[in-house]
Chain A
Amino acid sequence: MKSYLQSHLKQLESEAIYVMREVAAQFENPVLLFSGGKDSIVMAHLAYKAFYPAKIPYPLLHVDTGHNFDETIAFRDKYVEKIDAKLIVRYVQNSIDNGTAVEETGPYASRNGLQTITLLEALNEFKFEAALGGARRDEEKARSKERFFSHRDAFGQWDPKNQRPELWNIYNGQKKPKESFRVFPISNWTELDVWMYVQQEGIELPNLYFSHQRDVIKRDGVLLAASDVVYPVGDETIETMTVRFRTIGDMTCTGAVESPAATIEDIVDEVASARVTERGARADDQRSEAAMEDRKKQGYF
C-alpha cells in the first residue's frame, strides 16, 4: 500500500499556511509582525508560500527600538523588497518623544519593554484587527498554553482565564469592535524545527546568526554585544569572542552564544544538541521567574 506519511516539517508548514490563510479570510485588516529575526523571516516565507502566486495580502510591521543591529535593518529592507511585500516601521523613539513611553536609564536600560507601547500604538493607528506573530509555544512556559488565535481585549491585553477553546483546526476569529487577535501560525514549531525548515527551504538569514568575531560584554552570564547602548560597567570588560546569536532582538537584551557554527548544517547540529534554551540567552526573561507571563498580560507577545 502506498504510504501517505508526510514529514513533520511538511505538516507544520501546512498548518502554518492554513492559519495564515484563515487570518486573511476572517479579518479585514491584519498585519504580520516582522522583526528581521529568523522566526519572522520564516513567517514571511510561509506567508509568501500561503498566497503564491498572489502577493501577501497584509503588510509587515516592524517595531524598531532604535537599538537594533544594523545588519538586521539592512537585511529586513532587502528581504521585503525581494518578496515584494509592504513594510510599515514604527519607532520606540517616537513613543518616547511623545511621552507615551518613558525610557529606562542607566547602563542596564533596555527598550525591550517599551516595544509593547509602540506596538499597541501602531495597532491602534492602523486599526489592525489581527497581528500575526512568530512566537512559539516551546519558547517559554507561559506560551505553552497560548492559542493559535489569541484573543485580546480592547486594551490589547491577554486574559489567560478567558481564552477560547480551540478544537480541531477550527479557528474562531469573531470579535467585538476594538478587540483584536494575536495569531501564532508557528505555535507548534520548536527552535530545531525552525532551523531544519530554514535548511530545507534554503531561506537566507542575517549573518548575525552565523559564527563571527564580535566584541562582547559578559553580564549575568549573558554575552551582550558591545555597542553605544551596551557598555562595560564596574569590572566588566570587553572581550572579542567567536559567537553567534540564537535570537535577534534589541541589542540591550539579546545575548550571543559562543559557537563555531558557521553554516546552517552546523547550526542544525548545534541546536539539536543544545543544552540551553534560546530564551535562556535573553536578559529580559531572567528578571523574574514569571517574567514572560507578566509582560504578556500587558500586551507583549
Chain B
Amino acid sequence: MTIELLRFTTAGSVDDGKSTLIGRMLYDTKSLFEDQIEQIEAVSAKRGDEYVDLALFTDGLRAEREQKITIDVAYRYFATPRRKFIIADTPGHIQYTRNMVTGASTAELAIVLIDARKGVLTQSKRHGFIATLLQIPHIVVAINKMDLVDYDEDTYRAIVSDYRDFVSKLNAKNVTYIPVSALVGDNVVDPSQNTPWYEGPTLLHHLENVNVGASRNYTDFRFPVQYVLRPNQNFRGYAGQLASGRVRPGDEVVVFPSGLESTIKEVVTANGNLEEAIAGDSVVLTLNDEIDISRGDMIVRTGNLPQKSNELDATICWMGEDPFDPSKTYQLQHTTRVVRAMVTELTYRIDVDTMHRTPAEVLKLNEIGRVQLTTTQPLFYDRYNTNRASGSFVLIDPATNNTVAAGMIRGESRDVDDLMEGETKADDTATRRERSENVVWEAGALDLAERERLNGHKGAVLWFTGLSGSGKSTIAKLLERRLYERKIHTMFLDGDNLRHGLNGDLGFAPEDRVENIRRVSEVASLGYAHGNVVLCSFISPYQRDRNFARSIVPDGNFFEIFAKCDLEVLKRRDPKGLYAKALSGEIKNFTGISAPYEAPEQPELVIETDVATPEQLVDQLIEMLETAGII
C-alpha cells in the first residue's frame, strides 16, 4: 500500500496546549522513542513538574525550553501505516506572524487551536486568516482543554458557532471542528468516552483521511527551468520540478521569456524515460528543437499560458527586522528566477486581527499588506489562488541578503484609488474613469441601503462575457424572467441594444470596444446604485475592461460570469451566420476568429453552455445569488 504524505501546520498560543497536542499525537501513535521519553521525564523531574510534560517533546532549542515558549518554526515527523505527516509547528503569539506564514506556505492543512475555556480569541481568528491567505485547503479547529469545561457540549457548540461566523467572511473552504483534550488524550488518536454528543472523527482519523494534493494544480503545465544539463554534444536537458500541471512527450510547448516554440522530446529520469510527469515531479525535459534556454526560463504548454507582467499586485507579509523601505530596490525570487523589484506603492495594510484595511506608509516586521510592485524584467506567473507554486515569491534585501518578505501575486498591478473603498478610479489608461471638471456628484435623496430595504434584495451587477453565440444573452434573459417572478428589480443591458442608442457612434475597433464597455460599465453601476440586479451581456473580450466594470461596483456585488463554449461548437452553431462571414474575412475584427478573446482569470462563475441546459445554468446562477446574499 502506498504511504501518502500530508504536511500540516499547527498554530496556537503558548497556553492553548499546542505543543502538548503534538506531543500527544506523537506519544499516542507510538512515534516517540524510549530514550526521548526518558530524557523528557528527566527534564520534567528536574523542573519539578507534577506530570511528564508532553510539550517538551516539541520545544526544541535550549533558550525556549528555558523560557517555556517556542520561538521558531520547528518540523516534526510521525507516521501511521497510511500516512507520513510533516508538522510545521509554529508559535502563535503576535510577533511571530512571520513564522506562521512560513509554516503555512508548505502546508495542506492547518490546525487552529482554541482553548475551550477562553473561546474564540483574536489570535484564533488571526490563525484562520493566515491559513486562508496562504490558501491552505483544509482547516481543522481543535477545541482543546475540553476536560477543563467538563466536556460541555454547549460550550463546544458556542465556539463552533462563533468561529463559523468568522470564517464565513474569509472564503475558507473545508473547516472541520473537533473537541479534544490534548492533556488527557480525548479525540486525539482515540475516540473519547467523555464526548458522547460528538460523532465526528478523531483528529488523527481526520488527518489520515483528508484529501491530500488538493492544493496542487494539475491543470496548468508550468516548468521553471532550474539547471541545464549538457553532459555531451548530443544531449541538452532542462532539469526542474513541475510547479503544476502535467507533461508528456510530444506536447507542444512555448518557452518564456523568448516565446520560442517546440515540442517535448523526452521526459528523462535516472529510472528511465517517463510517459508522463505530473506536478511535483523532478525530471529532465528534452525538446525537439535547439532553443537557447537557461535557468529562470519557464516552459509551458502552448495554449495554456501564464500571465506576463512587470507590474504586479500582491499581498506580502513583511519578515525583515527593518521596515520596508519604499526607496529601496529589492531582489525578487519567483520560481527559479531572480529579478530586481521596487515596491511602487503600499496600497493598504491588513490588520491581521480585525482584517480591516488601513492606509499605511510603512510595513513592519510581521505586518501584512497589499502592494504594487514593478520588476526590472517581466515575470511569468499565475495568481496565487489558482497556483501556489507560480504565484508566490520572496523579497530579498540586497544589503543583508536576508529574506524580508513573502509575497502572493493577486494579478497585474492596479491603482490604489481603484482598490480603496469609496474611491472609484480605474488604473487602465485605456479605460480611465475621467471626471469632467466642475461637476460635483449629486448625492441622491435616497441611498442604496434604503432602496435595498424597500426592494427586499440587494443590488448587483452580473457581467456575462463570452464569445459571440455562446449563449450569454439567452441565459441572461431566462435568468431575468426567473428573477421577475420572484419580484426582483432587474435591468438588462445587451450589446446589440445599446449599440442602437447610447453607443450608436461606436464601431468595433479596439478603442471603440473599450469606450463601449466603459459606457456600459457606468450605466450598470448607476443601475446597481439604484438597487437593481443588473444583467449585462457583452462579449467584452478584454480582461482590463471587465476589471474596470468590476472596479466601480463594491466587492461582493459584482459577478463576472464566463459563458464558456467550445469555439468549434460555435462555428458549427453559428445562428447569425457571423462566424462564416468572419472566417471568410467578410467581417473584420471578429472576436475569437480575427480578434483576441481573453478568458476571465477569476470569474465568479463559469457556465458551460455547450454542456448544460439553459435551465440548469439559470439554477446555478440563482444559487450563486442566494449564496452571496443578494436575493
**A residues in contact (CB < 8 Å) with B:** 4-15, 17-18, 21-22, 24-25, 48-55, 137-138, 141-142, 144-145, 160, 163-170, 172, 174-176, 187-188, 190, 192-193, 274-277, 280, 289-290, 293
The reply to whether the CB of B101 lies closer than 8 angstroms to some CB of chain A is yes
Interface of B is mostly: mixed
Q: Given A18-B282, A145-B72, A277-B36 in contact, is the A51-B4 Cβ separation under 8 Å? A: no
> Which of B33, B393, B401, B406 touches A165 (beta carbons < 8 Å)?
B406
Q: Contact between A14 and B227 (Cβ–Cβ < 8 Å)?
A: no
Query: Which residues on B sit within 8 Å (CB–CB) of A167?
Result: 101-102, 105-106, 392, 394, 403, 406
Chain B, interface size category, equals: 35 or more
| Complex Cα gap A5–B3 (Å) | 10
Q: Given A7-B2, A164-B402, A164-B403 in contact, is the A188-B278 Cβ separation under 8 Å? A: no
> Which of B35, B226, B394, B403 touches A22 (beta carbons < 8 Å)?
B226
> Which of A163, A176, A274, A290 touches B401 (beta carbons < 8 Å)?
A176
Chain B, 155-169, contact with A by CB distance < 8 Å: what is the 0/1 string? 000000000000000
Query: Which residues on A sit within 8 Å (CB–CB) of B240?
Result: 21
- Beta-carbon contacts under 8 Å, B238-275 to A: 239-241, 268-271
Q: Contact between A55 and B231 (Cβ–Cβ < 8 Å)?
A: yes
The reply to whether the CB of B176 lies closer than 8 angstroms to some CB of chain A is no
| Complex Cα gap A10–B3 (Å) | 10
By beta carbon, the residue of chain B nearest A190 is B77
- Beta-carbon contacts under 8 Å, B447-461 to A: none
Q: Contact between B101 and A145 (Cβ–Cβ < 8 Å)?
A: no
Q: Contact between A168 and B333 (Cβ–Cβ < 8 Å)?
A: no
Q: Given A167-B392, A167-B394 in contact, is the A275-B34 Cβ separation under 8 Å? A: yes
Q: Contact between B403 and A160 (Cβ–Cβ < 8 Å)?
A: no
Q: Contact between A4 and B34 (Cβ–Cβ < 8 Å)?
A: no
| Complex Cα gap A137–B79 (Å) | 15
Q: Contact between B401 and A174 (Cβ–Cβ < 8 Å)?
A: yes
| Complex Cα gap A142–B39 (Å) | 14
Q: Contact between B282 and A50 (Cβ–Cβ < 8 Å)?
A: yes
Chain B, 56-95, contact with A by CB distance < 8 Å: what is the 0/1 string? 0010111100000000111111010001101000000000
Can you spell out 24 A-B residue pairs with CB atoms less than 8 angstroms apart?
A: A8-B4, A9-B3, A13-B282, A22-B226, A22-B336, A25-B227, A51-B229, A51-B239, A52-B268, A52-B284, A53-B237, A54-B230, A142-B60, A144-B75, A145-B74, A160-B63, A164-B403, A165-B403, A167-B101, A170-B333, A172-B333, A275-B33, A277-B33, A289-B42
Q: Contact between B295 and A141 (Cβ–Cβ < 8 Å)?
A: no
By beta carbon, the residue of chain A nearest B78 is A190
Give the contact stretch, choosing among B211-219, B414-422, B504-512: B211-219
By beta carbon, the residue of chain A nearest B335 is A170
Q: Contact between B77 and A168 (Cβ–Cβ < 8 Å)?
A: no
Chain B, 463-495, contact with A by CB distance < 8 Å: what is the 0/1 string? 000000000000000000000000000000000
| B244 CB to nearest A CB, Å | 11
> Which of A7, A51, A169, A176 touches B3 (beta carbons < 8 Å)?
A7
Q: Contact between A168 and B392 (Cβ–Cβ < 8 Å)?
A: yes
Query: Which residues on A sit within 8 Å (CB–CB) of B210?
Result: none
Q: Given A24-B227, A174-B396 in contact, is the A168-B106 Cβ separation under 8 Å? A: yes
Q: Contact between A168 and B237 (Cβ–Cβ < 8 Å)?
A: no
Q: Contact between B75 and A14 (Cβ–Cβ < 8 Å)?
A: no
Query: Which residues on B sit within 8 Å (CB–CB) of A5?
Result: 2, 4, 212-213
Q: Contact between A53 and B76 (Cβ–Cβ < 8 Å)?
A: no
| Complex Cα gap A189–B305 (Å) | 35
| Complex Cα gap A160–B587 (Å) | 68
Query: Which residues on A sit within 8 Å (CB–CB) of B331?
Result: 174
The reply to whether the CB of B389 lies closer than 8 angstroms to some CB of chain A is yes
Q: Given A5-B212, A21-B226, A25-B295 in contact, is the A172-B396 Cβ separation under 8 Å? A: yes
**B residues in contact (CB < 8 Å) with A:** 2-5, 33-36, 39, 42-43, 58, 60-63, 72-77, 79, 83-84, 86, 98-99, 101-102, 105-106, 212-213, 216, 218, 226-227, 229-231, 235, 237, 239-241, 268-271, 278-282, 284, 295, 319, 331, 333-336, 388-389, 392-394, 396, 398, 401-403, 406
Q: Contact between A53 and B235 (Cβ–Cβ < 8 Å)?
A: yes
By beta carbon, the residue of chain A nearest B85 is A8
| Complex Cα gap A276–B37 (Å) | 10
| Complex Cα gap A163–B86 (Å) | 20
Q: Given A25-B295, A52-B269, A144-B74 in contact, is the A17-B35 Cβ separation under 8 Å? A: no
Q: Contact between A6 and B282 (Cβ–Cβ < 8 Å)?
A: no
Chain B CB within 10 Å, residue with most, of A169, A188, A190? A169
Q: Contact between A54 and B231 (Cβ–Cβ < 8 Å)?
A: yes
| B493 CB to nearest A CB, Å | 39
By beta carbon, the residue of chain A nearest B86 is A188
| Complex Cα gap A278–B269 (Å) | 32
Query: Which residues on A sit within 8 Å (CB–CB) of B392?
Result: 167-168, 170
> Which of A17, A50, A165, A172 touches B102 (beta carbons < 8 Å)?
A165
Query: Which residues on A sit within 8 Å (CB–CB) of B79?
Result: 190, 192
| Complex Cα gap A168–B215 (Å) | 12
Query: Which residues on A sit within 8 Å (CB–CB) of B229?
Result: 51, 53-54
| Complex Cα gap A26–B396 (Å) | 15
Q: Contact between B394 and A170 (Cβ–Cβ < 8 Å)?
A: yes
Q: Given A14-B280, A52-B284 in contact, is the A188-B227 Cβ separation under 8 Å? A: no
Q: Contact between B62 and A293 (Cβ–Cβ < 8 Å)?
A: yes
| A152 CB to nearest B CB, Å | 13
> Which of A6, A21, A137, A192 touches B239 (beta carbons < 8 Å)?
A21
By beta carbon, the residue of chain B nearest A149 is B403
Q: Contact between A6 and B280 (Cβ–Cβ < 8 Å)?
A: yes
Q: Contact between A274 and B403 (Cβ–Cβ < 8 Å)?
A: no
| B420 CB to nearest A CB, Å | 28
Q: Contact between B218 and A17 (Cβ–Cβ < 8 Å)?
A: no
By beta carbon, the residue of chain A nearest B216 is A4
Query: Which residues on B sit within 8 Å (CB–CB) of A15?
Result: 282
What 7 pairs across the A-B complex have the smallest Cβ distances? A52-B270, A280-B35, A8-B5, A54-B231, A49-B270, A174-B401, A17-B282
| Complex Cα gap A11–B280 (Å) | 7
| A137 CB to nearest B CB, Å | 5
> Which of B34, B72, B212, B271 touches A160 (beta carbons < 8 Å)?
B72
Q: Contact between A168 and B239 (Cβ–Cβ < 8 Å)?
A: no
Q: Contact between A53 and B226 (Cβ–Cβ < 8 Å)?
A: no
Query: Which residues on B sit within 8 Å (CB–CB) of A160?
Result: 61, 63, 72
Q: Contact between B396 and A137 (Cβ–Cβ < 8 Å)?
A: no
| B411 CB to nearest A CB, Å | 19
| Complex Cα gap A275–B102 (Å) | 32
Q: Contact between A14 and B282 (Cβ–Cβ < 8 Å)?
A: yes
| A31 CB to nearest B CB, Å | 17
Query: Which residues on A sit within 8 Å (CB–CB) of B213?
Result: 4-5
| Complex Cα gap A15–B237 (Å) | 19
> Which of A12, A141, A172, A190 touches B403 (beta carbons < 8 Å)?
A172
Q: Contact between B226 and A25 (Cβ–Cβ < 8 Å)?
A: yes
| A254 CB to nearest B CB, Å | 16
| A10 CB to nearest B CB, Å | 8
Query: Which residues on B sit within 8 Å (CB–CB) of A11?
Result: 5, 280
| A193 CB to nearest B CB, Å | 7
Q: Contact between A188 and B226 (Cβ–Cβ < 8 Å)?
A: no
| Complex Cα gap A156–B34 (Å) | 34
Q: Contact between B227 and A21 (Cβ–Cβ < 8 Å)?
A: yes
A6-B278, A14-B241 known; 5 new pairs, CB 8 Å cut-off, are A14-B281, A144-B75, A165-B101, A168-B388, A188-B75
Query: Which residues on A sit within 8 Å (CB–CB) of B43?
Result: 289
| A273 CB to nearest B CB, Å | 9
By beta carbon, the residue of chain B nearest A147 is B73
Q: Contact between A25 and B336 (Cβ–Cβ < 8 Å)?
A: yes
Q: Contact between B3 and A8 (Cβ–Cβ < 8 Å)?
A: yes
| A39 CB to nearest B CB, Å | 15
Query: Which residues on A sit within 8 Å (CB–CB) of B226?
Result: 18, 21-22, 25
Chain B CB within 10 Å, residue with most, of A4, A290, A293? A4
By beta carbon, the residue of chain B nearest A17 is B282
Q: Contact between B3 and A144 (Cβ–Cβ < 8 Å)?
A: no
By beta carbon, the residue of chain A nearest B243 is A169
Query: Which residues on A sit within 8 Å (CB–CB) of B334?
Result: 170
